[in-house]
Homo-oligomer: A and B are copies of this chain.
């Protein structure tokens, strides 16, 4: 009767249960973190009118968009969460209170050429803060705090939030009379990590056609490194030469000033003047986040300040600041590199009850009682041999198996077996609940990502 081979399209992630449970834990940690900063959840359609979604038009993205007609409607699947946010804020402007802070975790679609680690359907986790006409720089200072909390909660310790300000870059290029070449320069400087400073310098001279002394200026500027105080001191030397630069410097100082109040340790933060994050969109602070022991992953959380969220939909100025995590790729890489811990619990339940009696009423009641105590409890329902039941418990990876046979019933106890240690003990239902709950709490506190 089977007529079709069941398969999942390439470029679409579909996880097995134990991995899915880890992914869900990541989602839930993100939701908690974003909520703790007062971001409101948002959900927008996956399908939008093509005309609306592609209002900006052009570019590499448009080619990748899933676009099709249904009846006579031209439709497209969202390819990021920013365009839907712009649409949402412009459409519901009158009903929203500003600053409007939202998080959205959802799937987006890009018909990229399929290759390892590239996905056509993937989750993005975005937060944005949108102002009405104005938005205070304090919001730019808050973002590193949120990034810090996010990765700390996920269990990462060795990470660094790298920050720059586009006004510093634009101001610097202006004071050197290089504004016209700014795009080219930034693209070249972006290769620093890959090709090294000497090759960048040569490329600035030979490809971008800069005078050697100007290329030298760029290299000096990009080489500014050190503690936050040292970097700011170095930048102070340029002050007074360009208004935009001075504005950027003031903003950077504000961001740095509030870091300690927000609870971000200095070791998790660095000013890095080489960061630019694309050419047009960002206008102020920009962010990247690196896992220090895994620089090959690249930035795992990026974003920045922009001036016009929704210029294609409204003439209102809607400045904002936001960051995004490409969750599916992030999870895929963590998984590939063996960085995901199962300790936090990748079992579907805290305890599996294995009835050993003909009448299942006592087992059903015991499961209900443990559930009332706040536990996730599965009742094993099939009439199989003991060995098959234990093998099931093993395959699920449950922390505890709970046996209930005639002996236990007579004594009013449960036999509770820790599946990890093999230790088995007879406990009253209340004792069993307490033991399993304490273990569940330990697992919930365990890091998802191990370093």
Contacts and interface: CB of A to CB of B under 8 A. Distances in A.
A352 interface: yes
Contacts of A368: 145, 261-263
A48 interface: yes
A38 B352 contact: yes
B381 A138 contact: yes
B9 A49 contact: yes
Given A111-B71, A121-B46, A52 B4 contact: yes
A395 B420 CA distance: 51
Interface residues of A, number: 102
A75 B8 CA distance: 11
Nearest to A5: B313
B12 A45 contact: yes
Interface in A23-61: 23-24, 35-49, 51-52, 55
Contacts of A88: 6, 14
Contacts of A142: 379, 381
Q: How many copies does the complex hold?
A: 2
Given A7-B91, A313-B5, A364-B261, A14 B378 contact: no
A311 interface: yes
17 contacts: A1-B312, A8-B91, A9-B45, A14-B45, A14-B88, A16-B92, A17-B96, A17-B102, A20-B40, A35-B349, A37-B377, A38-B352, A45-B121, A47-B66, A66-B70, A68-B68, A68-B69
Interface of A: 1-9, 12-17, 20-21, 23-24, 35-49, 51-52, 55, 66, 68-71, 73, 75, 86-88, 90-92, 95-99, 101-102, 107, 109, 111, 120-121, 131, 134-136, 138-139, 141-142, 145, 257-258, 261-263, 310-315, 348-349, 352, 360-361, 364-365, 368, 371, 375-379, 381-383, 392, 395-396
